[in-house]
Amino acid sequence: MSGRRSPPSSQPGTTSKPGPSGPGQVDAVLPDPCLAFGVDEFVDALPAKMRESDEGITFATDGGVSVGADFMALQAAWVEGIVGMARAGARIVVDDVFLGGAASQQRWWKALAGIDVLWVGVRCEPAVAAGREIARGDRTHGMAELQADVVHQGVVYDLKVDTTHTESLDCALIIAARLS
């Protein structure tokens, strides 16, 4: 690869993409090193008191997810931290779930102003996503099906991949080819 820096990649999708399909799968096939971040790790890093809290994040029995003001404040700091690393020259891959659709993307766009970004939509048919959610065993049932379409509403992508019938490694190779 030439001296050209690969732009950050953002991969919004549901919470039940197959296997290691998030940032780890993509960074494994990129020719240059990058840092990978996912919203799941952000949620895991939240203080325990913010889980199942109106000010933090709550998971409804039907799979719905609600976030409060404290969650939004920490998420904004997380985004700014990731963007800071990109501005310092790091190649970044982010796996996020845009619960707010276009409004979620707008927050990232604002923070990423002046940085080249490849926006990748990772889709999966709701029924298939629901089956993967059950197989994972670590998600609230119904979450993937509820999110399968809403996370993409109004979101603009440079590239879309669909994991319904395509292996995650093949999707990662498509993304890597676009970044080359």
Whether residue 116 lies in the annotated active site? no
List the end-to-end C-alpha distance of the chain, in Å, as a whole number. Answer: 7
Closest of 19, 18, 60, 26 to residue 173, by C-alpha: 26
The residue assigned the tokens 């963007």 is 83
Name the DSSP class of 48. Answer: G
Burial class (CB in 10 A: 0-12, 13-18, 19+), 109: middle
Q: Which one of the listed residues 27, 32, 40, 62 is annotated catalytic? A: 40
Task: Tell me the residue type at 151.
Answer: V
Q: Which residues are catalytic?
A: 40
